[in-house]
Structure 1
Amino acid sequence: MLANKKFLISLFLGIVIISGCSANNNNNNQDNVVQAAQNLQAQQDKINELEEKYQRLDDMEQIKQVKARYFRFVDEKKWTDLANLFTDDAKIVADGAEYPGGGPAFAKMIGDLVGEAPTVHHGHMPEIEMIDKENAKAVWAMEDLLTFPDKKGSPPGHNGYGQYHETYRKVNGVWKISSMELTRFRMDPLKNWDTNTDPVTGQPITKK
């Protein structure tokens, strides 16, 4: 009888121990699952953060490209390409004067003034701030060497220094200038371009 009681007690204790171990294993498994899920979420959050950072840097680079084309198109006299850099409703202010009509009107005005006269435009040290995924703003330091055809009614040439304050908007996946304001710190006068001279060398054009 005593032997049977010892056996039953041993059996009962064994069941209790096994049950306890099983419960501990279940708890451990649950903890492991929770920890794995937390680790996975942390990794996904990091990936999302890196993707957002990459997109932000890519957008900033695209905005730099837009402004680089602005300077290049002016100097290459590509007025249609210049106009296409702006949104349809772009607000443009230069030296305190507002130019209605957006990019096309502004590009035509510059083209009519400059004609084939040689010009040089440089932009430097952009401070770009992303407002959201489709809007941004920036300040650019600038220098321009601008001469006009030397004829009656032409404004005087200059070597100027100042800033562009601009906003940008992504339109159908493409960044465009939505507003532009040019202010100047200094303007040194330059002699205008003699249309009888080569715009690159400055030498008189030999007529054949």
Structure 2
Amino acid sequence: MLKSKTVQTSLILGLVMLTIIISGCTDQNNKAQQAAEDQQAVQITELEQRYQNLEDVEEIKKLKARYFRFIDEKKWSDFAELFTPDAKIEIDGNVFTGGEAFANGAGTVIGAAPTVHQGHMPEIDLIDRDNAKGMWAMEDMLTYPAVKDAPPGHDGYGSYSETYKRVDGVWKISSLVLTRYRMDPLANWDPSTNPITGK
């Protein structure tokens, strides 16, 4: 009888120990699984952020492409919409506030001139979710109609230093400074002559 009770007690103690071990293993497995799921969630969040950053940079590139295209197409109302209302713009010593003022000024100065504007090698850095900064190499070719007292044409080279702001989900230019490194004179535009030599 005593032996039977000892066996029963040993059996019960063994079952209790086994239950504790299994429970401990289950807890460890649950913790390991939770840690793996947490790590995966962090990685997914990081990937989503990197994807969003790439999308934002591409949107800013398209914004600047429209800047150049709208100037050359003389689409001044569309051009004005590319800027925040309080944008600070500095071009060749002229300072403008807001896209509308800049569009009016540019339209007055180069509205009649055939122009070619190009931007290259963008360096765009996101500051936070809604702000960014960028540098662009640029070239602009501008010749006025060949009439008396027309300003001289030029082929210019330089860089744009800019900031951008997301407004209602759309990236806009919030500041712009054009620095010119070189300006080569060009003969003004006459459809019957060579646009480079004027002959």
Per the alignment, do residues 26 and 12 of structure 1 end up closer, same or farther by CA in structure 2, a change over 3 Å counting?
A: same
Q: Which residue of 1 aligns with 2:176?
A: 180
Aligned residue runs from structure 1 range 189-204, under 5 A:
189-194=185-190, 197=191
3-state DSSP of counterpart to 2:96 = coil
Aligned residue runs from structure 1 range 1-208, under 5 A:
4-95=1-92, 97-194=93-190, 197=191
3-state DSSP of counterpart to 2:99 = helix
Any gaps of 5 or more consecutive residues in structure 2? none
Does the Cα contact within 8 Å between 1:99 and 1:105 map onto a contact in 2?
A: no
Q: By how many angstroms is 1:158 displaced? A: 0.5
Identity %: 51
Q: By how many angstroms is 1:192 displaced? A: 1.6
Instruction: Select the structure of larger CA radius of gyration.
Output: 1
TM normalised by structure 1 equals 0.89
For 1:100, the aligned partner's letter is F
Per the alignment, do residues 198 and 19 of structure 1 end up closer, same or farther by CA in structure 2, a change over 3 Å counting?
A: farther
Q: Which portions of structure 1, spanning 4 or more consecutive aligned residues, are displaced by more than 4 angstroms?
A: none
Q: By how many angstroms is 1:98 displaced? A: 3.5
For 1:165, the aligned partner's letter is S
Once superposed, what is the RMSD of the aligned Cα atoms? 1.6
Q: By how many angstroms is 1:152 displaced? A: 4.4
Any gaps of 5 or more consecutive residues in structure 1? 203-208
1:45-67 Cα distance to aligned partner (Å, 9 max, x none): 01100110011000000000000
1:121-164 Cα distance to aligned partner (Å, 9 max, x none): 01000000000000000000001101123334533110011000
Does the Cα contact within 8 Å between 1:93 and 1:182 map onto a contact in 2?
A: yes
Counterparts of 1:185 and 1:90, CA distance in 2: 24
Counterparts of 1:93 and 1:100, CA distance in 2: 7
Per the alignment, do residues 142 and 132 of structure 1 end up closer, same or farther by CA in structure 2, a change over 3 Å counting?
A: same
Does the Cα contact within 8 Å between 1:119 and 1:145 map onto a contact in 2?
A: yes
